[in-house]
Amino acid sequence: MQFIDLAAQYKHLKERIDKRIQTVLEHGQYIMGPEVQELEEKLADYVGVKHAITCANGTDALTLALMTLEIKEGDAIFCPTFTFFATAEVIAYEGATPIFVDSDPDTFNICPIDLENQIQKVIEEGALNPKAIIAVDLFGLPANYPEIEAIANKYNLKLVEDAAQGFGGEISGKRAGSFGDIATTSFFPAKPLGCYGDGGAVFTNSDGYAELIKSYRVHGKGKDKYDNVRIGMNSRLDTIQAAILLEKLQEFPTELKARNLVAQNYTKELMGKYKTPFTPEGYISSWAQYTLQHESRDVIMAEYKAKGIPTMVYYGTCMHQQTAFEYLGYNKGDFPVAEALSDSVFSLPMHGYLK
């Protein structure tokens, strides 16, 4: 049994994907070929935003967002401590300071109450400039954007949606990737919409932000690649990956329905035995992972392994406990909900072809 069965997906889409790749091989435009623009247009239409700009990976997508928002040394950027390392890594990479926030005990996403507490604490201390929030759509479920956006507006902060896991999720019909000032996603193979390598995208309704992102992703180019008007980076999505994603995006709504059916069946069978995922009213999850919580995690995972069922832990160490962030001075117990999650959550197999 596979935790994420990419082979089953490829078998289902093989003829269409192979044809797309063959077309790229024939026209030979491997970098920024026509499939890249076609994908960007279809991604923007699916998410419901004006602009979708593809890039090399999800981490670069976050970096491009922070570069566009002019994040710099002395800025405080608020993000969850219970998430993948990249969310906080890109903040430090820009010279800014990550300010970690505890989790909501039910959704596992960033807690709006603690978010506001952390913002007020930074303001009171006065050493850093509160600049932005990065909210993560953890395990496929969009964060609480109605409350987070209100907090961002209250304190005049920019908001970035990290939808690396949330692509396909919704709040009241508004899709992940359309929240905040800028949103990002990842097309890493294991993500809900994944390619066969690395890939990412940035979403925004701002024409100005879109032009900056397009420039930054190709060495800060101006009118052409030899006119460099700012310091940028090299972060382009390969044409072959765009071709693959075009076919996967077409199939994605069907796979999303299948993922939700799997999640419903899991919950029906496992409710009461474990703490099962909570989806608030009006929300739709894309189920990047189906994550359970239990104090005897290691014993339970061993039992599943003995039955030939793979399980995974996302995430075993919070950001404030990572060696790389020791310089920030956080201690065990600073974020009790997130720390409890890192000690007790585990995920079951989840994909659109699970029987």
The CATH number for 24's domain is 3.40.640.10
Q: How far apart are the C-alpha atoms of 308 and 311, rounded to whole Å? A: 10
- Pair of tokens at residue 195: 């390619």
Q: How far apart are the C-alpha atoms of 202 and 173, rounded to whole Å? A: 20
**Who contacts 114 (Cβ-Cβ below 8 Å, separation ≥6)?**
101, 102, 335
What was the pLDDT predicted at 93? 97
Q: How far apart are the C-alpha atoms of 153 and 157, rounded to whole Å? A: 6
For 250-280, b/e burial (b = at least 16 CB within 10 A) is ebbeebbebbbebbeebbeebeeebbbbebe
Q: Which amino acid is at 87?
A: T
Q: Are residues 69 and 95 in the same domain?
A: yes
What was the pLDDT predicted at 4? 96
Domain count, the chain: 2
CB 325 within 8 A of CB 98: yes
pTM: 0.97
Count the alpha carbons within 13 Å of 60 in the hemisphere toward its beta carbon.
Answer: 23
| Helices and strands counted in the chain (H then E) | 10, 12
State the residue for tokens 């994550």: 291
What was the pLDDT predicted at 65? 98
Q: What tens-digit pLDDT sequence spans the chain (355 residues)?
A: 999 999 999 999 999 999 999 999 999 999 999 999 999 999 999 999 999 999 999 999 999 999 999 999 999 999 999 999 999 999 999 999 999 999 999 999 999 999 999 999 999 999 999 999 999 999 999 999 999 999 999 999 999 999 999 999 999 999 999 999 999 999 999 999 999 999 999 999 999 999 999 999 999 999 988 999 999 999 999 999 999 999 999 999 999 999 999 999 999 999 999 999 999 999 999 999 999 999 999 999 999 999 999 999 999 999 999 999 999 999 999 999 999 999 999 999 999 999 8
* CA neighbor of 131 nearest in space, from 81, 200, 68, 177: 68
Question: Any idea what the CATH number is for the domain that residue 286 is in?
Answer: 3.90.1150.10
Which residue, 248, 266, 295, sits at the end of a domain?
A: 248
Q: Are residues 315 and 185 in the same domain?
A: no
Q: Are residues 118 and 86 in the same domain?
A: yes
Q: Rounded to 5 degrees, what are φ and ψ at 179?
A: -95, 155
Q: How far apart are the C-alpha atoms of 221 and 214, rounded to whole Å? A: 8
Q: Which residues pair with 110 in a beta bridge?
A: 103
What was the pLDDT predicted at 224? 87
Q: Are residues 31 and 154 in the same domain?
A: yes
Q: Is residue 73 part of a domain?
A: yes
Q: Are residues 265 and 236 in the same domain?
A: no
Q: Are residues 301 and 230 in the same domain?
A: no
Q: Is residue 105 part of a domain?
A: no
Which residue, 248, 276, 299, sits at the end of a domain?
A: 248
Domain that holds residue 302: 252-348
Q: Are residues 117 and 227 in the same domain?
A: yes
Q: Is residue 321 part of a domain?
A: yes
Q: Is residue 106 part of a domain?
A: no
Q: Is residue 87 part of a domain?
A: yes
Q: Are residues 223 and 284 in the same domain?
A: no
Q: Are residues 222 and 236 in the same domain?
A: yes
Q: How far apart are the C-alpha atoms of 353 and 351, rounded to whole Å? A: 6
Handedness of CA 344, 189, 142, 276 (dihedral sign): negative
Q: How far apart are the C-alpha atoms of 181 and 132, rounded to whole Å? A: 10
Q: How far apart are the C-alpha atoms of 88 and 259, rounded to whole Å? A: 28
Which residue, 248, 268, 287, sits at the end of a domain?
A: 248
Q: Are residues 35 and 116 in the same domain?
A: yes
Q: Is residue 86 part of a domain?
A: yes
What was the pLDDT predicted at 127? 98
What was the pLDDT predicted at 355? 85
Q: Are residues 181 and 221 in the same domain?
A: yes
What was the pLDDT predicted at 254? 98
Helices 207-216 and 58-68: angle between axes, nearest 10 degrees: 120
Q: Are residues 138 and 167 in the same domain?
A: yes
Q: How far apart are the C-alpha atoms of 264 and 266, rounded to whole Å? A: 5
